[in-house]
Amino acid sequence: MGTRWRERTGRGVELSLRSRLRAGDQSAFGEIFDEHASALYGYAVRTLGDWAAAEDAVSLTFLEAWRLREKLHEEGEGVRPWLFGIATNVLRNTTRAARRHRAALARLPARETVPDFADELAGRLDADAELAAARRALARLRRADREVFLLCVWSGLEYAATAEALGIPVGTVRSRLSRARSRLRELTARELEPDRGIGQVRGGHGHVARSIQEQIR
């Protein structure tokens, strides 16, 4: 099927990627997966704070993209904003489902757990701790501001692309990002404040706070 859509039209112009996607060209979906899956995964990890859940979110994003392919406008250069817009909706639903799941688990009787101290997990545990520290600061933002920050700063979308992904004006993106940066400066300043009499950064995540702080300047 992909070969057919790579053929040139009578006007001598190759069909655009958007046109191929709208037509259900599977090779076109393979192309956008190869190009954007990694960035979408990073966005999902930072939003959810869970590596496995992020993988599921990326899979759901591409399934939704396939289902909604005919709604993609033929005009436009890239599909990155469209994909991130779908991912944002998937992550909103995933976050709500996770909250319901945690609430259900909290109602169950407590069970004794045995921690796994395998050496090969040490790196993942450190990464999880750093991710959790970053998400604690981000979680205090309004959802709308947090989504703009994640898309613009941590996913590298331009203002116009973020506006397209979220369906909001560019001016709103700018104002939300400015508000998010100001709020995160306050939050990371608290993370960097040493504990009295200990001389360590509060929570042991000063390097995480500094990393966020560098990105919000």
| pLDDT, tens digit, 9 for 90 and up, residues 27-73 | 999 999 999 999 999 999 988 888 888 999 999 999 999 999 999 98
- Domain topology for 17-104: Rna Polymerase Sigma Factor; Chain: A (1.10.1740)
Position 6 scores a pLDDT of 43
Position 101 scores a pLDDT of 45
Based on the number of CB atoms within 10 Å of its own CB, is 1 exposed (0-12), middle (13-18) or buried (19 or more)? exposed
Q: What is the mean pLDDT of the chain?
A: 75
Of 160-169, 182-191, 197-206, least confident by mean pLDDT is: 197-206
Phi and psi angles of residue 153, each rounded to the nearest 5 degrees, phi first: -90, -50
Residue 141 has pLDDT above 70, yes or no: yes
Cα–Cα distances in angstroms (integers) from residue 158 to residues 101, 102, 165, in the given order: 34, 35, 10
Phi and psi angles of residue 15, each rounded to the nearest 5 degrees, phi first: -60, 140
Position 176 scores a pLDDT of 95
Please give the residue that has the higher pLDDT: either 192 or 179: 179
Q: What is the three-class DSSP state of 10?
A: coil
| pLDDT, tens digit, 9 for 90 and up, residues 62-106 | 999 999 999 998 877 789 999 999 999 999 988 776 555 445 545
Domain ranges within the chain, ordered by starting residue: 17-104, 142-193
- Please tell us whether the domain made up of 142-193 is placed in CATH 1.10.10.10: yes
Fold matches, 17-104 and 142-193: no
Max Cα distance, the chain (Å): 77
Q: Estimate the crossing angle of helix 26-48 against helix 122-139, to 10 degrees.
A: 80
- Please name which of 175, 176, 195, 187 lies closest in space to residue 213, comparing C-alpha atoms: 187
Where on the phi/psi map is residue 168: left (φ > 0), alpha (ψ -120 to 50), or beta? Answer: beta
